[in-house]
A and B are shown apart, each in its own frame.
Chain A
Amino acid sequence: MKTSAFNTGEIDSYLLQQLPPGNKLVFDAKLMLCPELLETVEWQRKVHHLVQLRGRQQFKAQINAVEQTVFSMPEYSSFRQKLWRLFSK
Protein backbone atom coordinates (compact mmCIF):
# COMPACT_ATOMS: atom_id res chain seq x y z
CA MET A 1 0.00 0.00 0.00
CA LYS A 2 1.32 3.39 -0.95
CA THR A 3 1.74 5.54 2.11
CA SER A 4 1.14 9.24 2.20
CA ALA A 5 3.89 11.78 2.70
CA PHE A 6 1.56 13.68 4.99
CA ASN A 7 0.71 12.95 8.60
CA THR A 8 -2.70 11.28 8.54
CA GLY A 9 -3.14 11.80 12.27
CA GLU A 10 -2.40 15.50 12.05
CA ILE A 11 -4.86 15.89 9.16
CA ASP A 12 -7.43 14.04 11.25
CA SER A 13 -6.88 16.34 14.21
CA TYR A 14 -7.30 19.30 11.87
CA LEU A 15 -10.55 17.95 10.41
CA LEU A 16 -11.90 17.07 13.84
CA GLN A 17 -10.92 20.55 15.08
CA GLN A 18 -8.66 19.07 17.72
CA LEU A 19 -5.43 20.88 16.85
CA PRO A 20 -4.23 23.39 19.46
CA PRO A 21 -4.61 26.98 18.17
CA GLY A 22 -0.88 27.42 17.43
CA ASN A 23 -0.65 24.16 15.51
CA LYS A 24 -3.79 25.03 13.60
CA LEU A 25 -2.26 28.30 12.45
CA VAL A 26 0.82 26.45 11.22
CA PHE A 27 -1.35 23.87 9.51
CA ASP A 28 -3.44 26.56 7.79
CA ALA A 29 -0.24 28.11 6.49
CA LYS A 30 0.94 24.73 5.17
CA LEU A 31 -2.39 24.31 3.40
CA MET A 32 -1.89 27.60 1.58
CA LEU A 33 1.63 26.71 0.56
CA CYS A 34 1.11 23.08 -0.40
CA PRO A 35 -1.67 22.19 -2.85
CA GLU A 36 -0.92 18.47 -2.42
CA LEU A 37 -1.58 18.69 1.30
CA LEU A 38 -4.80 20.57 0.62
CA GLU A 39 -5.87 17.86 -1.81
CA THR A 40 -5.07 15.11 0.72
CA VAL A 41 -7.07 16.93 3.39
CA GLU A 42 -10.06 17.10 1.07
CA TRP A 43 -9.89 13.37 0.29
CA GLN A 44 -9.66 12.62 3.98
CA ARG A 45 -12.66 14.88 4.64
CA LYS A 46 -14.54 12.87 2.03
CA VAL A 47 -13.66 9.63 3.84
CA HIS A 48 -15.03 11.10 7.08
CA HIS A 49 -18.24 11.97 5.26
CA LEU A 50 -18.57 8.52 3.69
CA VAL A 51 -17.93 6.79 7.01
CA GLN A 52 -20.61 8.96 8.63
CA LEU A 53 -23.07 8.04 5.90
CA ARG A 54 -22.26 4.35 6.21
CA GLY A 55 -22.67 4.52 9.97
CA ARG A 56 -26.01 6.24 9.67
CA GLN A 57 -27.21 3.80 7.01
CA GLN A 58 -26.29 0.84 9.19
CA PHE A 59 -27.89 2.39 12.24
CA LYS A 60 -31.09 3.04 10.30
CA ALA A 61 -31.05 -0.57 9.09
CA GLN A 62 -30.77 -1.71 12.70
CA ILE A 63 -33.64 0.59 13.72
CA ASN A 64 -35.74 -0.91 10.92
CA ALA A 65 -34.96 -4.42 12.08
CA VAL A 66 -36.00 -3.61 15.66
CA GLU A 67 -39.16 -1.92 14.41
CA GLN A 68 -39.99 -5.02 12.36
CA THR A 69 -39.55 -7.13 15.47
CA VAL A 70 -41.77 -5.09 17.76
CA PHE A 71 -44.43 -4.84 15.05
CA SER A 72 -44.48 -8.55 14.24
CA MET A 73 -43.44 -10.76 17.15
CA PRO A 74 -46.21 -12.21 19.38
CA GLU A 75 -44.60 -11.01 22.61
CA TYR A 76 -45.23 -7.40 21.58
CA SER A 77 -48.90 -7.79 20.67
CA SER A 78 -50.19 -5.64 23.55
CA PHE A 79 -47.77 -2.87 22.50
CA ARG A 80 -49.17 -3.02 18.95
CA GLN A 81 -52.79 -3.02 20.10
CA LYS A 82 -52.13 0.06 22.20
CA LEU A 83 -50.73 1.85 19.16
CA TRP A 84 -53.46 0.76 16.77
CA ARG A 85 -56.05 2.11 19.20
CA LEU A 86 -54.42 5.54 18.96
CA PHE A 87 -54.89 5.62 15.21
CA SER A 88 -58.31 4.03 15.01
CA LYS A 89 -60.11 6.93 16.69
Chain B
Amino acid sequence: MKATNETREDWLTRLYLTAFPNVARHIAKQGGSLDEAKDVFQDALVIYYEKAVAGNLQLTHSEQAYLLGIAKHIWYHQQQKQKGRVSEEILNFKDIAEEEFLQPSTNRLLRYLETAGQKCMDMLQAFYYDKQNMKEIAERFGLSGERSATVQKHKCLEKVRNNVKEKSLTYEDFCV
Protein backbone atom coordinates (compact mmCIF):
# COMPACT_ATOMS: atom_id res chain seq x y z
CA MET B 1 0.00 0.00 0.00
CA LYS B 2 2.76 2.42 1.01
CA ALA B 3 4.95 1.48 -1.94
CA THR B 4 2.31 2.40 -4.50
CA ASN B 5 1.02 5.57 -2.80
CA GLU B 6 -2.46 4.06 -3.00
CA THR B 7 -4.70 5.69 -0.40
CA ARG B 8 -6.00 3.49 2.37
CA GLU B 9 -9.57 3.93 1.12
CA ASP B 10 -8.61 2.86 -2.41
CA TRP B 11 -6.70 -0.08 -0.99
CA LEU B 12 -9.71 -1.20 1.07
CA THR B 13 -12.06 -0.83 -1.88
CA ARG B 14 -9.75 -2.88 -4.07
CA LEU B 15 -9.57 -5.64 -1.45
CA TYR B 16 -13.36 -5.69 -1.02
CA LEU B 17 -13.75 -6.16 -4.75
CA THR B 18 -10.97 -8.70 -5.24
CA ALA B 19 -10.58 -10.57 -1.93
CA PHE B 20 -13.99 -10.49 -0.28
CA PRO B 21 -15.77 -12.74 -2.83
CA ASN B 22 -13.36 -15.61 -2.06
CA VAL B 23 -13.87 -15.14 1.68
CA ALA B 24 -17.64 -14.99 1.22
CA ARG B 25 -17.57 -18.16 -0.90
CA HIS B 26 -15.72 -20.00 1.86
CA ILE B 27 -18.09 -18.79 4.59
CA ALA B 28 -21.13 -19.65 2.43
CA LYS B 29 -19.81 -23.19 1.88
CA GLN B 30 -19.39 -23.53 5.61
CA GLY B 31 -23.03 -22.53 6.16
CA GLY B 32 -22.36 -18.97 7.27
CA SER B 33 -24.30 -15.85 6.33
CA LEU B 34 -23.26 -12.80 4.35
CA ASP B 35 -23.21 -10.71 7.54
CA GLU B 36 -20.90 -13.25 9.17
CA ALA B 37 -18.65 -13.14 6.12
CA LYS B 38 -18.54 -9.34 6.36
CA ASP B 39 -17.56 -9.48 10.05
CA VAL B 40 -14.84 -12.04 9.43
CA PHE B 41 -13.47 -10.04 6.52
CA GLN B 42 -13.34 -6.86 8.60
CA ASP B 43 -11.30 -8.59 11.30
CA ALA B 44 -9.04 -10.11 8.66
CA LEU B 45 -8.40 -6.65 7.18
CA VAL B 46 -7.42 -5.28 10.59
CA ILE B 47 -4.98 -8.12 11.21
CA TYR B 48 -3.53 -7.82 7.72
CA TYR B 49 -3.13 -4.04 7.93
CA GLU B 50 -1.49 -4.09 11.36
CA LYS B 51 0.96 -6.77 10.29
CA ALA B 52 1.72 -5.01 7.01
CA VAL B 53 2.48 -1.58 8.49
CA ALA B 54 4.53 -3.14 11.28
CA GLY B 55 6.70 -4.80 8.65
CA ASN B 56 5.87 -8.26 10.02
CA LEU B 57 4.71 -9.57 6.72
CA GLN B 58 6.54 -11.29 3.93
CA LEU B 59 3.98 -12.13 1.33
CA THR B 60 4.75 -15.31 -0.57
CA HIS B 61 1.29 -15.31 -2.17
CA SER B 62 -1.12 -12.60 -3.26
CA GLU B 63 -2.84 -10.26 -0.82
CA GLN B 64 -6.10 -12.00 -1.68
CA ALA B 65 -4.72 -15.43 -0.77
CA TYR B 66 -3.28 -14.08 2.46
CA LEU B 67 -6.59 -12.47 3.45
CA LEU B 68 -8.45 -15.67 2.66
CA GLY B 69 -6.04 -17.56 4.92
CA ILE B 70 -6.59 -15.15 7.82
CA ALA B 71 -10.36 -15.24 7.28
CA LYS B 72 -10.43 -19.05 7.30
CA HIS B 73 -8.45 -18.98 10.53
CA ILE B 74 -10.85 -16.50 12.17
CA TRP B 75 -13.92 -18.40 10.99
CA TYR B 76 -12.56 -21.73 12.21
CA HIS B 77 -11.81 -20.38 15.67
CA GLN B 78 -15.16 -18.63 15.90
CA GLN B 79 -16.87 -21.91 15.14
CA GLN B 80 -14.76 -23.75 17.72
CA LYS B 81 -15.61 -21.12 20.27
CA GLN B 82 -19.32 -21.44 19.58
CA LYS B 83 -18.98 -25.16 20.18
CA GLY B 84 -17.40 -24.41 23.54
CA ARG B 85 -13.91 -25.51 22.55
CA VAL B 86 -11.64 -22.79 23.86
CA SER B 87 -8.00 -23.37 23.05
CA GLU B 88 -4.93 -21.35 23.88
CA GLU B 89 -4.82 -20.21 20.26
CA ILE B 90 -8.31 -18.75 20.51
CA LEU B 91 -7.38 -16.88 23.67
CA ASN B 92 -4.44 -15.33 21.84
CA PHE B 93 -6.66 -14.45 18.95
CA LYS B 94 -9.38 -12.59 20.86
CA ASP B 95 -7.25 -9.45 20.86
CA ILE B 96 -8.54 -8.38 17.45
CA ALA B 97 -11.87 -10.11 17.20
CA GLU B 98 -13.21 -8.91 20.53
CA GLU B 99 -11.64 -5.49 20.72
CA GLU B 100 -15.02 -3.79 20.45
CA PHE B 101 -15.95 -4.93 23.88
CA LEU B 102 -13.86 -2.22 25.46
CA GLN B 103 -14.44 -1.27 29.01
CA PRO B 104 -16.66 1.83 29.20
CA SER B 105 -13.94 3.59 31.19
CA THR B 106 -11.47 3.18 28.33
CA ASN B 107 -13.93 4.59 25.83
CA ARG B 108 -14.58 7.56 28.10
CA LEU B 109 -10.89 8.20 28.42
CA LEU B 110 -10.47 8.02 24.64
CA ARG B 111 -13.31 10.49 24.18
CA TYR B 112 -11.73 12.83 26.70
CA LEU B 113 -8.37 12.68 24.91
CA GLU B 114 -10.14 13.49 21.66
CA THR B 115 -11.46 16.75 23.07
CA ALA B 116 -8.22 17.55 24.88
CA GLY B 117 -6.02 17.44 21.79
CA GLN B 118 -7.02 15.80 18.58
CA LYS B 119 -3.91 16.88 16.69
CA CYS B 120 -1.62 15.27 19.23
CA MET B 121 -3.63 12.08 19.18
CA ASP B 122 -3.54 12.07 15.37
CA MET B 123 0.23 12.45 15.42
CA LEU B 124 0.73 9.71 17.99
CA GLN B 125 -1.61 7.45 16.05
CA ALA B 126 0.32 8.09 12.84
CA PHE B 127 3.49 6.94 14.57
CA TYR B 128 2.36 4.13 16.87
CA TYR B 129 -0.55 2.62 14.92
CA ASP B 130 0.04 3.47 11.28
CA LYS B 131 3.81 3.20 11.78
CA GLN B 132 4.57 6.25 9.67
CA ASN B 133 8.16 7.42 9.88
CA MET B 134 9.18 10.90 11.03
CA LYS B 135 9.60 12.18 7.48
CA GLU B 136 6.04 11.17 6.60
CA ILE B 137 4.75 12.64 9.86
CA ALA B 138 6.58 15.92 9.24
CA GLU B 139 4.99 16.20 5.79
CA ARG B 140 1.53 15.24 6.98
CA PHE B 141 1.49 17.68 9.91
CA GLY B 142 3.27 20.56 8.16
CA LEU B 143 6.45 20.42 10.25
CA SER B 144 9.82 21.59 9.00
CA GLY B 145 11.55 18.21 9.14
CA GLU B 146 12.17 14.94 10.93
CA ARG B 147 13.84 16.59 13.93
CA SER B 148 10.92 18.93 14.44
CA ALA B 149 8.48 16.02 14.10
CA THR B 150 10.38 14.00 16.70
CA VAL B 151 10.35 16.89 19.18
CA GLN B 152 6.65 17.50 18.58
CA LYS B 153 5.83 13.82 18.98
CA HIS B 154 7.63 13.70 22.33
CA LYS B 155 5.81 16.82 23.50
CA CYS B 156 2.52 15.24 22.50
CA LEU B 157 3.39 12.02 24.24
CA GLU B 158 4.19 13.86 27.47
CA LYS B 159 1.03 15.94 27.21
CA VAL B 160 -1.21 12.94 26.62
CA ARG B 161 0.57 10.90 29.29
CA ASN B 162 -0.01 13.70 31.82
CA ASN B 163 -3.66 13.99 30.76
CA VAL B 164 -4.20 10.25 31.10
CA LYS B 165 -2.58 10.21 34.52
CA GLU B 166 -4.52 13.24 35.72
CA LYS B 167 -7.87 11.95 34.48
CA SER B 168 -7.26 8.43 35.69
CA LEU B 169 -6.45 9.68 39.16
CA THR B 170 -9.27 12.24 39.23
CA TYR B 171 -11.94 9.79 38.13
CA GLU B 172 -11.19 6.45 39.58
CA ASP B 173 -13.51 4.71 37.15
CA PHE B 174 -11.25 5.73 34.26
CA CYS B 175 -8.68 3.26 35.54
CA VAL B 176 -8.62 0.03 33.65
Residues of A within 8 A of B (CB): 1-4, 8-9, 12, 40, 43-44, 46-48, 50-60, 62-67, 69-70, 76, 79, 82-84, 86-87, 89
Are A86 and B9 in contact, with the CB atoms below 8 A? Answer: no
Residues of B within 8 A of A (CB): 8-9, 12-13, 16-17, 20-21, 24-25, 28, 33-34, 38, 42, 45-46, 49-50, 99-100, 102, 106, 109-110, 113, 121, 124-125, 128-130, 150, 154-155, 157-162, 164-165, 168, 176
Are A44 and B157 in contact, with the CB atoms below 8 A? Answer: yes
Between B16, B49, B99, B176, the greatest number of chain A beta carbons within 10 A of the residue's beta carbon is seen for: B16
Pick the residue among B34, B42, B129, B176 that contacts A52 (CB under 8 A). Answer: B129
The secondary-structure label for the interface of chain B is helix
The secondary-structure label for the interface of chain A is helix
Residue of A with least CB distance to B43: A60
Are A70 and B106 in contact, with the CB atoms below 8 A? Answer: no
